[in-house]
């Protein structure tokens, strides 16, 4: 046994995180993917299961470290334990080997690891419920157990390899592919996507790129897909807020407009777009928007004068009166 593995086993023992499948292991039979984006360095994990709140058990990731999926008769300790091993300098394969050696319930486990260099590894124990299996590809691993058929994980791998867009989008496509060929034999209940940056800044709110969960839903993947779209729109909104703070109202208007185009019926998005149009001298374009917003919810009219004192709305008194008359 090499020194690295001995060191890793020492960490496992010191953390005292191994779980006995008979009493401590949630029955999270499911399909999942862990993956790395070589262009951005982002790492992530995505999952769907016929189990309540699957994201609280299966999905683990840390910026600059890696991502882990622990499922089947899941050992939740594999999450924090695996991340600690990766942080100590082990790669994905070494981390997985160390955790399995230290776990007496390893044959009941299904677990996958991807590290900050894109190496991926997974394990499907012999006592997983059929159909069960997994595939390790370049920068990703897919795995599934208790499936309708053995087409699920190959479908995930093919879909991920041919998908485009952000890492979250590509993992979403993989989940949808799994469902399209049969998915979990028991049906659907919850899903989750977690994406973190490849390098840690120490700012968790910045380094966690996506953290979405659907805990209990008849169509968890459809709901997760909707939330992913909302997440993207509010990324534009958040960037627009930063632009406002920096006094760049032209940029803020562009960003708010991008968000609004995704959800044209969202009053929040339309309102801030209108505010910024007013700020950059395009009041005539903004007035019909204010009218539509105020007619649907009068509280937005009440809010508007409050934006003058802190400089978020920069129009003069005459133009403010015009806005409020809408």
264 assigned to some structural domain = yes
Looking at residue 247, what is its pLDDT? 84
SS3 of 156, please?
Answer: helix
Q: What are phi and psi of 151, to 5 degrees?
A: -90, -10
* Average pLDDT estimate for 45-57: 96
The pLDDT tens digits for 196-227 are 999 999 998 899 999 999 999 999 999 999 99
The pLDDT tens digits for 268-319 are 999 999 999 999 999 999 999 999 999 999 999 999 999 999 888 999 999 9
Find the CATH number of the domain harbouring 295: 1.25.40.10
Residues 209 and 261 in one domain: no
Show Cβ contacts of residue 201 under 8 Å, excluding neighbours closer than 6 positions: 63, 207
Residues 168 and 271 in one domain: no
242 assigned to some structural domain = yes
Within 89-130, strands assigned E span 109-115, 120-124
List the 190-196 sheet strands across, edge first: 133-137, 140-144, 30-36, 43-49, 190-196, 208-214
Cα within 13 Å of Cα(208), Cβ side = 12
Residues 123 and 256 in one domain: no
Q: At 16, is the pLDDT very low, low, confident or very high (cuts 50, 70, 90)?
A: very low
pTM: 0.88
Residues 209 and 253 in one domain: no
Q: At 19, is the pLDDT very low, low, confident or very high (cuts 50, 70, 90)?
A: very low
Residues 242 and 188 in one domain: no
What distances in angstroms separate CA 176 from CA 1, 13, 48, one per listed residue? 41, 38, 9
Q: What angle do CA 191, 196, 200 make, to 5 degrees?
A: 160
* Average pLDDT estimate for 91-105: 96
Give the span between the Cα atoms of 177 and 152, in whole angstroms: 8
Residues 162 and 81 in one domain: yes
Residue ending a domain, among 218, 243, 259, is 218
Looking at residue 15, what is its pLDDT? 47
Neighbours of 99 (CB within 10 A): 29
Say if residue 8's pLDDT is above 90. Answer: no
Query: Percent of the chain, pLDDT > 90?
Result: 84
Residues 268 and 210 in one domain: no
Residue ending a domain, among 218, 248, 279, is 218
Residues 67 and 191 in one domain: yes
Burial class (CB in 10 A: 0-12, 13-18, 19+), 80: middle
225 assigned to some structural domain = no
Task: Domain count for the chain, please give it.
Answer: 2
179 assigned to some structural domain = yes
Query: Percent of the chain, pLDDT > 70?
Result: 91
Looking at residue 124, what is its pLDDT? 98
The pLDDT tens digits for 154-179 are 999 999 999 999 999 999 999 999 99
Cβ distance 152 to 178 under 8 Å?
A: yes
* Average pLDDT estimate for 104-122: 97
Q: At 4, is the pLDDT very low, low, confident or very high (cuts 50, 70, 90)?
A: low
Find the CATH number of the domain harbouring 107: 3.60.20.10
* Average pLDDT estimate for 42-52: 97
Looking at residue 195, what is its pLDDT? 98
Residues 199 and 246 in one domain: no
Residues 104 and 52 in one domain: yes
114 assigned to some structural domain = yes
224 assigned to some structural domain = no
Residues 187 and 258 in one domain: no
* Average pLDDT estimate for 48-70: 96
Say if residue 20's pLDDT is above 70. Answer: no
Domain of 260, in residue numbers: 234-324
229 assigned to some structural domain = no
Residues 144 and 272 in one domain: no
Q: At 1, is the pLDDT very low, low, confident or very high (cuts 50, 70, 90)?
A: very low
The pLDDT tens digits for 128-144 are 999 999 999 999 999 99
191 assigned to some structural domain = yes
Residue ending a domain, among 218, 250, 278, is 218
């Amino acid at each position: 046994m090499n020194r690295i593995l001995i060191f890793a086993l020492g960490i496992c023992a010191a953390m005292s995180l191994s779980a006995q499948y008979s009493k401590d292991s949630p029955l999270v039979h499911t399909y999942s993917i862990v993956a790395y984006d070589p262009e951005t360095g982002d790492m992530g994990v995505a999952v769907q299961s016929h189990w309540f709140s699957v994201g609280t058990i299966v999905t683990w990731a840390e910026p600059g470290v890696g991502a882990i999926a622990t499922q089947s008769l899941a050992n939740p300790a594999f999450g924090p334990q695996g991340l600690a091993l990766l942080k100590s300098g082990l790669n994905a394969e070494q981390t997985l080997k160390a955790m399995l050696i230290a776990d007496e319930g390893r044959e009941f486990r299904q677990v996958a690891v991807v590290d900050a260099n894109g190496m991926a590894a997974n394990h499907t124990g012999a006592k997983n419920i059929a159909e069960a299996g997994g595939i390790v590809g370049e920068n990703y691993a897919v795995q599934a157990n208790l499936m309708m058929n053995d087409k699920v994980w190959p479908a995930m791998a093919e879909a991920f390899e041919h998908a485009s867009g952000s890492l979250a989008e590509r993992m979403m496509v993989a989940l949808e592919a799994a469902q399209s060929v049969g998915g979990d034999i028991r049906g659907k209940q919850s899903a989750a996507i977690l994406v973190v940056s490849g390098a840690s800044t120490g700012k968790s709110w910045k380094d966690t790129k996506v953290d979405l969960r659907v805990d209990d839903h008849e169509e968890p993947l459809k709901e997760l897909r909707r939330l992913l779209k909302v997440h993207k729109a509010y990324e534009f909104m958040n960037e627009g807020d930063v632009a406002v703070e920096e006094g760049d109202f032209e940029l803020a208007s562009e960003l708010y407009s991008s968000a609004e185009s995704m959800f044209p019926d969202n009053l929040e998005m339309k309102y801030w777009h209108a505010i910024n149009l007013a700020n950059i001298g395009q009041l005539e374009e903004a007035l019909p928007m204010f009218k539509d917003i105020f007619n649907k919810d009068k509280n937005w009219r009440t809010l508007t004068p409050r934006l003058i004192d802190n400089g978020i709305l920069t129009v003069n008194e005459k133009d403010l009166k015009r806005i409020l008359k809408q």
